[in-house]
Amino acid sequence: MIGQTLGHYRILEKIGDGGMGEVFRARDDRLARDVALKIVRPAASNDQDRLRRFEQEARAAAALNHPNIVAIYDIGMHAGTPYIVSELLEGQTLRERLFDGALPIRQVTDYALQIVQGLMAAHEKHIVHRDLKPENLFITKDGRVKILDFGIAKLLPSEETHVRVSTTMTTQTKSGLVLGTVAYMSPEQLRARPVDHRSDIFSFGAILYEMLGGTRAFKGETNVDTITAVLKDEPVEITEVRPNVPAAFEPIIAHCLEKEPENRFQSARDLAFALSTLSNVTGSRTAAQPTVDVRSRRRLWWGLAVVLLTAAIGIALGFKIHAPVNPSYRRLSFERGTIYSARFASDGRSVLYGASWNGQPLKLYTTSSESPLEHALDLSDAHLLAVSPSNELAVELHGNHGSRREFIDGTLARAPLAGGAPREILEGVRWADWAPDGELAVVHHVNGSSRLEFPVGKVLYETHGWISHVRVSPQGDKIAFLDHPALWDDRGTVDVVDTKGTRSVLSPEWESEDGLAWSPGGDELWFTAIEGGYNRALWAVGSSARQRKILSGPGGLTLR
């Protein structure tokens, strides 16, 4: 190939080789610059449908414009085989860097944030990498991380993948190509199930583990061993592999590597938010308590998440923060998993919440702020939306997990807290709240639009973006909500609409907003949002649109 010309690209030298094809340094004679040219060998060069899908996917990847994603300049065809032209990078892959062992802690934090920021940009355009691994991460000489090869793995047909795995998995050793891939695949990908952006989050967790520990999270002598480890085993705690790793990394890795997608971080933005809290960590473990074992620390981290969540709800229901007294928190749960929603019952002491504990499906629980005991409610496949003054639940039944901690495509239902079959009301509802008189305000998705209805059927506001966190005022005369103008983006404003449909925007657009509640008197709205960076703070705004910051923390807050 050296000296040949493909289009207006003159091949100068070979600079790489892999399972998907060969990479060359080439000269773009038209623009007088050197580029990287990858010649991809598709499984069947005469499969026009497959080549057409490849071209569509390559064009989608080329649309990504982000400093942490390799820039794609051009695509073309040579002798029936497609090729991709991209920016020429100087440096080394993360795999080459890992040959020297684990990375310094601060460098891991920096690289991890860069990788996730690149994933955020891709996922926002609905592009999933599907083959994230150290070989596809490039570190430039100036320390910039670039994600390579978006979507190219789709060129491998399922039949060929099956043959490659089945014929080598029992004999391939640790140096094998397939083993190096399956070690980073998500469980759903290994089971040939549909994958979404959360598969990339699993792969990232395996990479983060390896950057910190210098060893793979999932490994075995054969591919069978490795696949079994990914599907069934938990990796050795990273602090056991490398004792000087700050304990704060442990829950982040664990949350990325959950076996079920719905139990992982639900977006790259959420993951970036968690990683940002590590920006000041060092190699020391001054915050760790040697009398608490590793797994207890992991549970404590998630317990603290529940405490912060519950405390924030308590603030919204009337617990005031008086400076300079610091707020206090009480741990209410002792399991490992993900909290999806939480509400106080009408007595102000009982807490109802939906959680997925220890890898199990979502269930609803009730507990008391005065006791650590929890009781599972007899409601299956239900997501808690709201609790009425008479202790009637508004739940979403049979929903699918959305991009964050909400559920979509479900059915709104009413269910008595004391027990009994739920009564279905309306399909396509994602958010709901009770008014004092027992009516429901809902966010109803119809024909691509998001409608705020109160009562059900009366449209007060409609948008082609999305509405979240609908909350009825204590007086029942206004409905507050977070208005997001763009789909898949949690930027937005705090809005209020009255029962006649008159809407007021009470805040500027926030970089990220999540969580909303009325103050007990109905004169303020409290919410958690980000001005810039990643850490959400608790804010308040009144009808005059005057804002004040109530509370902030080093790890950020989210009001549930």
Active site residues: 131
Euclidean distance between CA atoms 63 and 484, whole angstroms:
23
DSSP for 246-301 reads: -TTHHHHHHHHT-SSGGGS-SSHHHHHHHHHTTTT--S--TT--TTS-HHHHHHHH
Vertex 273 angle, CA 184 and 251, to 5°: 55
**Cβ pair 353, 384 in contact under 8 A:** yes
Other beta carbons less than 10 A from residue 177's beta carbon: 12
Residue 419 φ then ψ, to 5°: 120, 155
Q: Is the peptide bond before 251 cis (omega within 30 degrees of 0)?
A: no
CA distances from 368 to 96, 288, 341, 365, 375 (A): 52, 29, 16, 10, 10
Among 183, 72, 182, which Cα is nearest to 127's? Answer: 72
Rg (CA), the chain: 26
The crossing angle, in degrees rounded to 10, of helices 249-256 and 197-213 is 140
Euclidean distance between CA atoms 22 and 313, whole angstroms:
56
Euclidean distance between CA atoms 235 and 253, whole angstroms:
10
Euclidean distance between CA atoms 105 and 213, whole angstroms:
10
For residue 180, give every residue at least 6 positions away whose Cβ sits within 8 Å of its Cβ, in sequence order, or none.
133, 135
Helices (H) and strands (E) in the chain, counts: 12, 31
Question: Which two structure tokens, joined as six digits, stand for 429?
Answer: 């509802």
Question: Which two structure tokens, joined as six digits, stand for 150?
Answer: 């978006």
Residue 418 φ then ψ, to 5°: -70, -10
Euclidean distance between CA atoms 537 and 305, whole angstroms:
15
**Cβ pair 117, 68 in contact under 8 A:** yes
**Cβ pair 212, 242 in contact under 8 A:** yes
Report helix, strand or coil for 519: coil
Question: Which two structure tokens, joined as six digits, stand for 556?
Answer: 């950020």
Q: Is the peptide bond before 134 cis (omega within 30 degrees of 0)?
A: no
**Cβ pair 548, 523 in contact under 8 A:** no
